[in-house]
Structure 1
Amino acid sequence: MKKLTVLFLLLLLCAAGSFAQDRGDGLMKQAKSALEAKEYVKARYNFLQSYNAYATAKKYAEATEAGVNVAKLYHRENYYKEAFDMLNKVDMVVGQGELESGRQMPELHYQTAKERMNMYVKLKNPAKSKEYLNRMEEFAKNSKGSLDDDLLYSQANYYYTFGQNALGDAAINRLIETYQKGKDYEKADECYKQLIATATRTNNARLVARTYERYNHWTDSIRALTAKDELHAMKAKYDDSLKTIEEKDHSIAVKTGIIVTLGILLGVLAAALVFGFIVLMRYIALNRKLKKNIMVANEHNSLKTEFIRNISAQMEPTLSTLDQKLPAVKALRAFSSHIQQLSDLESSLSEHYEMQDNNVLAFCEKVVDDAKAQMNPDVNMVVNAPKMSARFNPEEVEAVLHHLLVNASLNTPSGGKITLEFKKRGAHTLQFIVTDTGCGIDEEHREKLFKPFSEVRDLTKGDALGLPICSLKATKMNGSLTLDRDYTHGARFILEIHDK
């Protein structure tokens, strides 16, 4: 029940805040319309009501704008006490907002300080005016440059009002210089006009005279600058026109040469087209022949696969009648199984195995533990793999590594060492490396390692199909199985996998 009550109150507060903001927006619009119509009392009333609504909705920027407008309209009619009280209320609301939000709002305090300075300027109080001008400088500094132009304008107003013309000139020069750098002459002109209007409104004859004098001087300068800019623009257009004419003359000469060249090329092209057509027809004929050869090769490959499967199937009944304990029978059964596996892999090379994330260290340790039962116990086994995750097919990688480890054990004497390593070679490339300190592989046998049926063998001593099968599995993992030819202290096989 308490939770429902709290939720209801929160919804009520949100609705009230939204209503207050909408009401503030409407009153602000009415106040500005009344101000334009010079209905000052009505405008002041609506600004005040708008301020209250925004303060309730905690819209501090809008509340400050409305409150400062109320103060302006109060002091317009010489209600200074009411104007100062209004600005104090605005500062209190902004201060409360700073406490609640945990951030300073110098731009809002700047507006209230500026209005206080304007009132003290009107009251001819230089000390108080300077005090609030200094505060404005602090607030402008904390606003990170967003109020710099307005501050210069206010400084000029203050200095001219109290007879400090040199400082006033310096402030207005800095402001005008900013506009001139950006060639924003309209903004500079507007600045002078606003300064004259402010001086007229506050009955500051000294500021009117000083500003008007500088405005006339600036206007003459701008006319000269504008004329100079226009002259440069016209000269640039003239230069561009000359350049365009020159380019067109050159273009005509070039086009004439191109037309002559094209006429020659047209004849050459006609001959080339005839020759190209002959070559194309020959290419099409060769391509058709090649496709036919590929189709025949695929058919032969399918027939070979089916033939091998039939042989394996036909051998099974005969093998079943023989003594299963005989080495020759065991060898024939293994050979039949390997042939079938080799055939299946060759016919499905384009179908890659699925990958998944695996713990590399745990995987390598498991592979070694599973292989130890078929390995020489007197051979030292070393696992060198990091604690990391990698993407590969665990079943097929384990099958390849198991074969490599058992083979390495058969060719490594007691006291020797077999190492299983893992290395990350790139963002999507990884390697499993099996290294032994055995007798190594003769140069004459290296070329045949991964080729099935490359020599006649005694099947009881192995059919030599293990490495070709492992090589095909590596291909289906988007990788390869290779022998490191540079390693001379035994044998080293590298299973490289690309996980993408």
Structure 2
Amino acid sequence: MKRTVIMLLLTAWCFLGGAYAQNNADELMKQAQQNLAQKEYIKSRYLFLQAYNAYVSQGAYSKVVECGVKVSSLYHQENYYKEAFDMLRSTEAVVYTGEQKEKKAFPELRFPIIKERLQMYIKLKNPSRAKEQLDRLEETAKAARNDSLSNDLLYTQATYYYTFGMNAQGDEAINRLIGKYKAQKNYAKVNDCYKTLIDIARKANNSALVARTYDQYIVWNDSVKALNAQDELNALKRKYDESLNTIQEKDDSLSAKQYIIIGLCVLAAILAAVLVFGAIVLLRFIMLTRKQKKAISIANEHNELKTKFIQNISAQMEPTLDTLDAKLPGVKALHAFNAHIQELSELENSLDEPYEMEEKNISTFCESVMEKIKDKTKSDVTLAVNAPKLTVKINPEQLEHILLHLLQNAAEYTPAGGKIWLDFKKRGAHTHQFIVSDTGCGIAEEKRANIFKPFAEVKDLTKGDGLGLPICALIATRMNGSLTLDESYTKGARFILELHA
């Protein structure tokens, strides 16, 4: 009797323990998703990892894959590619263990793992390794025999081909998917395909594909509206015919039902009026769409003309300025403003042309840049450089241009006894940052949104034209990077220049 009671207690304890572990894993995953929605990426990654380990212990393989892929995605989002690939290998090993245990393949679980690895190779611009993963993905989708995975495969193939400039293959993949949805009359999915294709083209910087897809999308929208209008017309016509038949039957059988006949005629007239009104609305919408398309084209043309106009004005100003006394503050300011306009225009027209790179010792380089502002700081201002003796590929001339401008601004606005420092930090295998910080007055909150926009406000040119930061931001973009203001820093101003190798 005692043994029976003990066995029952042990069974109940195991059941309750398993239920608690399941609930704990689900709660961790729920918290991770909430933090991800709030863009708390590090915390979200940690919680997904905890949920991953909990699901591994339970053998919940689909949840293991979901959490593992999320963790990998959050790693490579921050350019921690080694950790991301390791996470996928670990997840794949768990799936393999499950397959051995269940004695069957899990292609639907392997699919998201392979897809995530493929996306990382696409982001790393490694076409050969990406193609290997694409081939594996296709084999896995065929093994799964799942329509949803087959559609996902076509999206992924299109992304790969367009990213690496194989437009014909990309068109074939996306057109196959659109053809499937058209055959099913799933017009919402067709719309999603065109929107996704436009997004893929933008990420691949393929302006021709963006324009072509946008034209196809407009034509498709027009045809869908025409189809819907035709369906409505047919439905109304059927109702109208039914009304006439009813009227005829009632008229033949019961003369006393004339009021009903009149009512049905009125209804038919209303339906016809609604149909006419709908046709008018449709025609107006088509005309408006064409006008909007023409307006976009005109706006782009005007923008190009504006840039040329500004360049011509700048070029015409230069001979006149040369005749004036360059020592006068106003003339000196106009010379600088003219030079900045020329530089800004040239940068806007050459953003797709990369700079030449060379190996430099980053510690020596940063020290030499900082040395150039020593005589421009106020008394007792501390200058510091925190950079390792590391060799990095950079364009020294353009990088010095940006850092020197940021440091000169810091020197101008940092009071006596303050501090200015330049930090260098690696953020992954192919990403590094240059951070310029000071203890000056900082930048007013209402001005932060426009500091990288040229001509955002009217200024006295003798006090600066405000084009320095916009020019630096464009140079950073051409160097495959970005220049941002750290708005969380409150002790002065802090600018972050992030470059990608």
TM-score by length of structure 2 reads 0.47
Q: Which is higher, the Rg of structure 1 or of structure 2?
A: 1
**Larger relative contact order, structure 1 or 2 (CA cutoff 8 Å, min sep 6):** 2
